[in-house]
Amino acid sequence: MYPSAQMFWNAMLRKGWQWKESDIQPDDMDSIIRIHNSNNEQAWREILRWEALHFKECDCPKLKSFRGDATKYTPRARIRRALGYELPFDRHDWIIDRCGKEVHYVIDYYDGGKVNPETGQFSLMDVRPAMDSWQNIFDRIIVAYMRF
């Protein structure tokens, strides 16, 4: 979850990120890593809020794996785009180990403007269970009702 600057730089190049020479240099990676780690920590806190629905079942969920795919938009992101909103600049799929049960979460990352110098935050996140199981769909209904 906490890549080194070199690991992050290599991953960005591997994913085909292209910059002009004046845009981003390897030396800029420390700041980018700080922002990346802050975003991951915020995403984890949001996932733990969802996982609190299952505290009796599992009081210590763990991150099993995660994967980013900025080109694979969620249905919600596509609907928002159709309504005139911007597409997310990134998407992550996180697999959580809920005491032996794998649970899939999706995270859409939207541009939130300038970086908050105190927290390193700059993105807005839409964190939720993927709609790939009846339990996840039920959780989303419950949370929507509680937020209403």
pLDDT by 10-residue block (mean), the chain, 148 residues: 69 68 69 80 95 96 91 93 93 96 96 72 88 96 93
In whole angstroms, give the CA distance from residue 131 to residue 96: 14
Domain count, the chain: 1
Per-residue pLDDT at 62:
97
- Entry pTM: 0.82
What are the backbone dihedrals phi and psi of residue 19, each rounded to the nearest 5 degrees, phi first? -135, 160
- The dihedral through the CA atoms of 130, 136, 137, 139 has a sign that is negative
Per-residue pLDDT at 148:
87
Per-residue pLDDT at 87:
93
Containing structural domain, residue 35: 5-16+24-147
Per-residue pLDDT at 23:
66
6 is written with which tokens? 């070199």
